[in-house]
């Protein structure tokens, strides 16, 4: 052991070293679960190919298990190897990378917009009880509107708008539609978090002559972090789903949603390209959720709900 490492062991408190080892072990376990989940999906995929007949299984004329031929369900390795096939001036892999990056950027903008709208609504509903009673049912009701029906309306309304003298761009409609899905979990999670501080803590802030803004920033916002982080993960997945569906519904080119349509039209004899595009779209949700995890890591000092007695660090 080097002198520097020995000094670190001597000077670092034992509980802190234990917490570091625990966090490292937790991250390794999470990584192992993620890899294991992908491996399990691949194994089940191939088992279905082996056990289910190529024409599927039908009972009384109703198909209960899908077809498993290569035209409907390609092998896992076929989906991987198709990434190297030629597609235009590049390969299928480069096409998916380009379109996936485009959709990821729109999803990130939608997540930011949805987060801002959700946080503002949550703060307003927490501040005014009458606003929560009147607005919250409509916030919940908004998620019952089919996204595929909303997309053409947003695109049509946006075509009549101009921002800063610049005409409305098609990608702006995608961001608005995806943000429409993303704001809901943020608003609900943030509202729950803002209302989580115990009454005794709120009274203590008032006894110290703290106004509403000071109570909000010093008590309610930190207390809302444990509820906000899971909501942001849900919002990240919703933003990707909304962006892909909006690209398909509005016919906007350049994103992976439109690329799924293109590959589905080519999947007459081999669906490997289509499955590769669908899996790439799913990975976008994993990437965006990973970015949220980085934010959660930066806010880990507020990761314990109030009243648990856990130390938040300094």
User: Which of the pair, 11 or 171, is modelled with greater confidence?
Assistant: 171
Question: Is the Cβ–Cβ distance between 103 and 171 less than 8 Å?
Answer: no
pLDDT tens-digit map of 283-295: 998 899 889 988 8
Tell me what pLDDT residue 3 has: 43
Per-residue pLDDT tens digits for 158-183? 777 777 777 878 888 899 999 999 99
User: Per-residue pLDDT tens for 112-148?
Assistant: 999 999 999 999 999 998 988 999 999 888 888 888 8
If one counts every other C-beta atom within 10 angstroms of the C-beta of residue 123, the result is 18
SS3 call for 287: helix
Percent of the chain predicted with pLDDT > 70:
86
- pLDDT for 266 equals 76
Q: Which of helix, strand or coil describes residue 82?
A: helix
Residue 168 C-beta-side C-alpha neighbours within 13 Å: 15
Q: What's the pLDDT score for residue 267?
A: 66
Locate 25 and state its tokens.
Answer: 């072990």
Average pLDDT of 91-112?
92
Say how far apart CA 303 and CA 297 lie, in whole Å.
Answer: 9
Q: Which residues contact 237 (CB under 8 A, 6 or more apart)?
A: 285, 288, 289
Instruction: Using only the alpha carbons of the chain, give its radius of gyration.
Output: 25
Confidence bin at 6 (pLDDT 50/70/90): very low
């Amino acid at each position: 052991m080097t002198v520097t490492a020995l000094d670190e062991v001597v000077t670092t408190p034992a509980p802190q070293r234990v917490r570091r080892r625990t966090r490292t072990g937790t991250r390794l376990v999470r990584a192992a679960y993620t890899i294991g989940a992908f491996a399990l999906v691949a194994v089940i995929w191939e088992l279905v190919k082996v056990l289910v007949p190529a024409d599927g299984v039908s009972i009384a004329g109703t198909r209960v298990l899908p077809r498993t031929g290569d035209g409907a369900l390609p092998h896992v390795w076929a989906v991987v190897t198709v990434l190297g096939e030629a597609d235009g001036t590049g390969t299928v892999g480069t096409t998916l990378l380009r379109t996936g990056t485009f959709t990821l950027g729109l999803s990130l903008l939608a997540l930011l917009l949805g987060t801002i709208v959700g946080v503002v609504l949550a703060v307003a509903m927490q501040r005014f009880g009458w606003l929560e009673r009147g607005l919250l049912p409509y916030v919940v009701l908004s998620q019952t509107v089919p996204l595929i029906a909303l997309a053409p309306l947003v695109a049509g309304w946006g075509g009549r708008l101009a921002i800063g003298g610049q005409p409305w761009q098609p990608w702006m409609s995608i961001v608005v539609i995806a943000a429409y899905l993303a704001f809901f979990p943020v608003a609900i999670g943030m509202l729950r978090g803002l209302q989580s501080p115990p009454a005794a803590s709120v009274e203590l802030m008032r006894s110290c002559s703290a106004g509403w803004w000071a109570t909000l920033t010093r008590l309610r916002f930190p207390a809302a972090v444990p509820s906000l982080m899971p909501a942001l993960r849900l919002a990240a997945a919703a933003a990707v789903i909304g962006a892909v569906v909006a690209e398909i519904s509005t016919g906007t080119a350049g994103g992976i949603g439109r690329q799924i349509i293109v590959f589905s039209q080519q999947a007459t004899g081999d669906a490997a390209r289509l499955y590769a595009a669908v899996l790439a779209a799913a990975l976008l949700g994993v990437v965006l959720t990973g970015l949220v995890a980085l934010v959660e890591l930066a806010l880990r000092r507020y990761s314990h709900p109030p009243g648990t007695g856990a130390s938040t660090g300094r």
